[in-house]
Structure 1
Amino acid sequence: MLKRISCDKFLSNGSIREPIVFHSGLNTVLGSPDAKNSIGKSTFLMIIDFVFGGTDYLSKDTKDTVDNIGHHTIKFEFEFDRESLYFSRSTDNPSFINMCDSNFNVVKIIPLNEYNKALANRYGFRDNGISLRDFVGRFFRIYHRETTNEKFPLRSATQENVNAGIVALIKMFNKYHQISEQEHIKNKTQEKESAFKKAKSFNQIKAAPNNTAFKENNKDIEKLETELYQLTIETQRGLSDLDSFQAQELAEIKKQLSSLRRQRTQLNSQLGSYEDDSKYTNKNFKHSYDSLKEYFPNANYEELDKVEAFHLKLANILKKEFKQSEDEINLLLSIVKEKISSLESKANHLKTAPTISKAILLKYADITKKIEVLKEANKNFSEHAKLKDNLKSEKDKYDELLKSTMISIENTLNSLMKNYTDRLYNGEKTAPTIEIADSSHYHFFTPNDTGTGSLCRGLVIFDLVMLNNTKLPAVVHDTIILKHIEDETLEKLIELYSTSSKQIFIAFDRDTTYSKKMQSILNDSKVLKLSPGGNELFGRAWNDVKKED
Structure 2
Amino acid sequence: MLKSISCEAIVKTPITFGEGLNSVVGADDAQNSIGKSSVLMLIDFAFGGNDFPVKCDDVTRNVGDFKVGIEFEFDKKHSFIRDTSKPDSVYFVEDQEMKTLKYFTSFLKEKYLPDELDISFRECVSGFFRIYQRNNYDDKRPLDIVKKDNWDSIRKRILKIYGEYWKISNLESEKSEKTKRSSDIKGTFGSGAVRKITKTQYTKNNAYIDHMTSEIEAIKHSLRKNVTDIKSLINDRNISLKKEKDELLEKRNSLSVQLARIDSNLNGSKIRKSKSFQVVTEFFPDIDSERLERVEEFHKGITKILKNHLNAEKKLILESISAADSDIERLDKELLKIVDSKEESVYLLERLMELDRSNRELITQNEYWSRADKVKEEIRQIKEEINKAIESSISKIEQSLNSGMKVYIERIYHDKAILPTLSLDSTDYKFSHGDDRGTGKGFANMIALDLTFLEKTHLPCIIHDSLLFKNLDIPAVESLIEIYSGFKKQIFISIDEVSKYREEVRDLIQSSEFIKLDKEKLAFKVKWKSRQD
With the length of structure 2 as denominator, give the TM-score of the two structures.
Answer: 0.71
Matched with 1:68 is: 62
The alpha-carbon distance between structure 1 residues 162 and 373, as it changes in their structure 2 partners (threshold 3 A), is same
Q: 1:397 aligns with which of 379, 382, 385?
A: 385
Q: Does 1:131 align with 2:120?
A: yes
> In structure 2, the residue corresponding to 1:94 is in which secondary structure?
strand
Cα distance in 2 for residues equivalent to 1:225 and 1:87: 75
Alignment of 1:342-353 (within 5 A): none
Cα distance in 2 for residues equivalent to 1:35 and 1:157: 28
> In structure 2, the residue corresponding to 1:376 is in which secondary structure?
helix
Matched with 1:525 is: 512
Cα distance in 1 for residues equivalent to 2:232 and 2:516: 99
Q: Does 1:428 align with 2:416?
A: yes
Stretches of structure 2 lacking an aligned partner (at least 5 in a row): 234-340
Q: Report how many aligned residue pairs link the two structures.
A: 422
Deviations 1:234-288 (A, max 9, x none): 98445999xxxxxxxxxxxxxxxxxxxxxxxxxxxxxxxxxxxxxxxxxxxxxxx
Cα distance in 1 for residues equivalent to 2:52 and 2:114: 25
Q: Does 1:187 align with 2:215?
A: no
Asked if structure 2 preserves the Cα contact closer than 8 Å seen for 1:29 and 1:526, the reply is yes
Matched with 1:5 is: 5
> In structure 1, the residue corresponding to 2:134 is in which secondary structure?
coil
Matched with 1:416 is: 404
Cα distance in 2 for residues equivalent to 1:206 and 1:239: 36
Q: 1:84 aligns with which of 77, 82, 93?
A: 77
Alignment of 1:35-114 (within 5 A): 35-59=30-54, 61-80=55-74, 83-100=76-93, 107-114=96-103
The Cα shift of 1:169 comes to: 2.2
Stretches of structure 1 lacking an aligned partner (at least 5 in a row): 12-16, 242-352
Structure with higher helix content:
2
Q: 2:469 aligns with which of 468, 482, 496?
A: 482
> In structure 2, the residue corresponding to 1:475 is in which secondary structure?
strand
Cα distance in 1 for residues equivalent to 2:230 and 2:422: 76
Asked if structure 2 preserves the Cα contact closer than 8 Å seen for 1:466 and 1:472, the reply is yes
Alignment of 1:205-244 (within 5 A): 205-208=194-197, 210-218=198-206, 221=209, 236-237=228-229
> In structure 1, the residue corresponding to 2:425 is in which secondary structure?
strand
The alpha-carbon distance between structure 1 residues 3 and 357, as it changes in their structure 2 partners (threshold 3 A), is closer
Q: Does 1:535 align with 2:528?
A: no
Q: Does 1:31 align with 2:23?
A: no
The Cα shift of 1:65 comes to: 1.4
**Structure whose alpha-carbon radius of gyration is higher:** 1
Deviations 1:431-490 (A, max 9, x none): 33322224x633332344444333321211111111122222210011232324344433
The Cα shift of 1:54 comes to: 0.6
The Cα shift of 1:367 comes to: 4.4
Cα distance in 2 for residues equivalent to 1:407 and 1:373: 51
Cα distance in 2 for residues equivalent to 1:122 and 1:373: 59
The alpha-carbon distance between structure 1 residues 385 and 451, as it changes in their structure 2 partners (threshold 3 A), is farther
The alpha-carbon distance between structure 1 residues 100 and 378, as it changes in their structure 2 partners (threshold 3 A), is closer
Asked if structure 1 preserves the Cα contact closer than 8 Å seen for 2:409 and 2:444, the reply is no
Cα distance in 2 for residues equivalent to 1:389 and 1:181: 18
Asked if structure 1 preserves the Cα contact closer than 8 Å seen for 2:230 and 2:344, the reply is no
With the length of structure 1 as denominator, give the TM-score of the two structures.
Answer: 0.69
Question: Percent of aligned positions with the same letter in both sequences?
Answer: 30
Cα distance in 2 for residues equivalent to 1:20 and 1:93: 22
Letter in structure 2 aligned against 1:382: S
Asked if structure 2 preserves the Cα contact closer than 8 Å seen for 1:5 and 1:76, the reply is yes
Asked if structure 1 preserves the Cα contact closer than 8 Å seen for 2:485 and 2:508, the reply is yes
Cα distance in 2 for residues equivalent to 1:144 and 1:237: 95
Root mean square deviation of aligned Cα = 3.1
Cα distance in 2 for residues equivalent to 1:125 and 1:47: 26
